Structure 1
């Protein structure tokens, strides 16, 4: 098997995907990235049979030429993946161009466009907020009449909370019109006044079956983080709510993906849930580490197993809660990092520096800790994030 990794260096905490694949017999791991070869760590260089450096990964034609060269030299590519939201469309285009297994652009549309996601959620009976596509100025008035204030306006094909507007009155609509380029298609949907956002996350095997599932809870919603510049904090649940799992599995079946991670966001509405969006990749930041610590597993190895037709590892240990709490360099906190380490010496697993690309939204340092009780997790969030 020839496995092509797009951007094997960045983000750095995804490098183990490449390393674990290289340990499998009959798997040749190739890479295309824009970092110089000498910048790659020794372990990553050793895992790659060949690395092709391009000037710009944004230039799809350049990436396609690099892939064509690697195919000429090593034979057909069997898989191509980045695990990164930013490169999902490029990954899909490469699969279509070179007839590679996996998600093609047509399939990707259903997971990139919020309007398309809603159709699949509704099809399997999962609650959603009412919404409407806005392509032209005249659509805005139609949406206001159909949905009514308050409204959340998001790019139909967008990531996270970027480009999001909350519309509660006419002045907000005027501000949106002023900022809107008129070219980006937006999706207007009813603002749901619920504070708790949870996810159904996991890994799908080559048959489309879920082989790992979990859930995380955000201390602050992504839009709140964007608007308030608060510290980010979320935790992996110790147990999965059966209702959430029921909705999540139905969605997975409807979308029909294979050999992929997924990250599906929901509002928690009492004992029920309202679907927000489907992300056709693993959650960003250091969430994969949090999954691993919470469940005492190695998802990097599990992924390599399913790609090569093997079973995921047994789960011999009971899960724990796992917290990811971030802090900003510019904020004056009550408790120092040394005090955090001392207070939670039995809980803290690692401290990571956030890549610059994510730091503005998520913070500069990430603290990853485990606990058996939710009360301890809540105390950690308060203690780590307390400011002067």
Structure 2
């Protein structure tokens, strides 16, 4: 199939590579395109003259002709009006390498916007999206790899050609932010530019800017060889953290506290001039995140969550059922130091308008140190937690911010928390115990539940195989409920 061909949204061919690389449009675009082609290819005047002559010979009254013509004229007027209004709508293109919770929540929010034309670029077929979202799509492009910059650029060019413009380009995925910045610059789309995106993706460059602006963070070293890691150990001592330079979500992150552990970690990362890695001093302390909404260089909303236990412990121990807690408004006051530093960190990296996810540690002596920050919404249900705590939908607020340059600052009403349910053992999920008991005992606190699925293969991720979200005005009540959940529910493989 030619890459410029148009296919109906409810039936997207997917068996051939060329078919996957075509723009798939929604039903309204199909109707409008067909109508435009029809009107362009025929001459209406001769047909109208013939029709009028025939009716005149039949001696049809003029009044009857007017009665026939009025509905046709009205329909044509409505069609033209809708087409013109659609042409003036903002064109929003959302990039979704994965069909995960954050992407779906963002697409749900976009689908609720009545006055946008929505395009999606994804690695997965659009049939994986819920029907009500598919019906809102004006166009969809399936790439061979949504993490490949060349593929994304090609897809964006096709979207730009199809729509005639792109006003907003978004993604919740950390790994595509630099590619999106390049596309924005090429097509003159408003938003983050490549230099700023690189500040957020290159963790060594990020920390260097923190040091230059006297923002507390861990000591670090860019690794272009294995010897550089040994030199860093000589400088700061064990333990240290090794990870990819442009990583996210604690993936391929290693805790190293001896030379015996150093070499295997380096063997997996294999640092070189072409595959740069990062070494950091290990920070002992309680891990938190700080979410911030920036509007024209000013922090207009911030909220803190804390991880129990720290993310690295969760990644290294697949059996841990862990928690994230958003303390209530009274306890949020205690985080004024990191709020101030968080805004300074975002400003020195260059974020003007958008949402960010900053991870940081509270040391035993009460000092803090920033770990890293991403210029995109957080994963692990964190934005959903803040939405429940502030009694709003922060995905919708983020979309309004990026599309319309508007953000309604919410007020916190609750403490909130999530417990992640993780399978133990080997095989597929065979047994789920304690869930009914939890649903009965905690029903007044539970806002969201995604139970593990029987006979499913475990995800193997830190988010596990299901989750339960609870909220209450008191943080202690939320902590107690989460503790009860993780000690009661068991997901067993077999």
TM-score w.r.t. the length of structure 2 is: 0.72
Aligned residue pairs, count: 385
1:233 aligns with 2:327: no
SS at the partner of 1:96? helix
Equivalent position of 1:284 in the other structure: 379
* 5+ long unaligned stretches in structure 1: none
1:189 aligns with 2:280: yes
Taking CA–CA contacts closer than 8 Å with sequence separation of 6 or more, which of the two structures ends up with the larger relative contact order? Answer: 1
How many angstroms does 1:318 deviate by? Answer: 4.0
* 5+ long unaligned stretches in structure 2: 1-89
Among 184, 192, 203, the residue aligned to 2:293? 203
Name the CA distance, whole Å, in 2 between partners of 1:167 and 1:383: 33
Name the CA distance, whole Å, in 1 between partners of 2:446 and 2:177: 33
Equivalent position of 1:118 in the other structure: 207
Q: Is the 8 A contact 1:114 1:156 kept in 2?
A: yes
Name the CA distance, whole Å, in 1 between partners of 2:102 and 2:241: 33
My pick for the range that moved more, 156-165 or 341-350, is 156-165
Name the CA distance, whole Å, in 1 between partners of 2:168 and 2:144: 23
1:369 aligns with 2:459: no
How many angstroms does 1:2 deviate by? Answer: 1.5
Among 350, 355, 364, the residue aligned to 1:261? 355
How is 1:71-110 mapped onto 2 (pairs within 5 angstroms)? 71-110=160-199
Name the CA distance, whole Å, in 2 between partners of 1:36 and 1:382: 39
Equivalent position of 1:302 in the other structure: 397
Q: Deviations over 1:337-379 (max 9, x none)?
A: 1111111111000112589896432210110110222222222
Name the CA distance, whole Å, in 1 between partners of 2:482 and 2:358: 23
1:348 aligns with 2:442: no
The structure number with the bigger radius of gyration is 2
Equivalent position of 2:482 in the other structure: 381
Equivalent position of 2:268 in the other structure: 179
How many angstroms does 1:272 deviate by? Answer: 2.5
CA distance change for structure 1 residues 189 and 66 in 2, over 3 Å: closer, same or farther?
Answer: closer
Q: Is the 8 A contact 1:305 1:312 kept in 2?
A: yes
How many angstroms does 1:67 deviate by? Answer: 1.8
Name the CA distance, whole Å, in 2 between partners of 1:193 and 1:15: 35
My pick for the range that moved more, 303-312 or 81-90, is 303-312
Name the CA distance, whole Å, in 1 between partners of 2:357 and 2:175: 15
Name the CA distance, whole Å, in 1 between partners of 2:212 and 2:338: 16
TM-score w.r.t. the length of structure 1 is: 0.90
Q: Deviations over 1:41-82 (max 9, x none)?
A: 222113222222333323433332222122112112122111
Name the CA distance, whole Å, in 1 between partners of 2:190 and 2:271: 36
CA distance change for structure 1 residues 98 and 213 in 2, over 3 Å: closer, same or farther?
Answer: same
Name the CA distance, whole Å, in 1 between partners of 2:191 and 2:479: 40
CA distance change for structure 1 residues 82 and 358 in 2, over 3 Å: closer, same or farther?
Answer: farther
Q: Is the 8 A contact 1:285 1:358 kept in 2?
A: no
Name the CA distance, whole Å, in 1 between partners of 2:185 and 2:174: 18
How is 1:122-141 mapped onto 2 (pairs within 5 angstroms)? 122-141=211-230
1:244 aligns with 2:334: no
Name the CA distance, whole Å, in 2 between partners of 1:30 and 1:140: 44
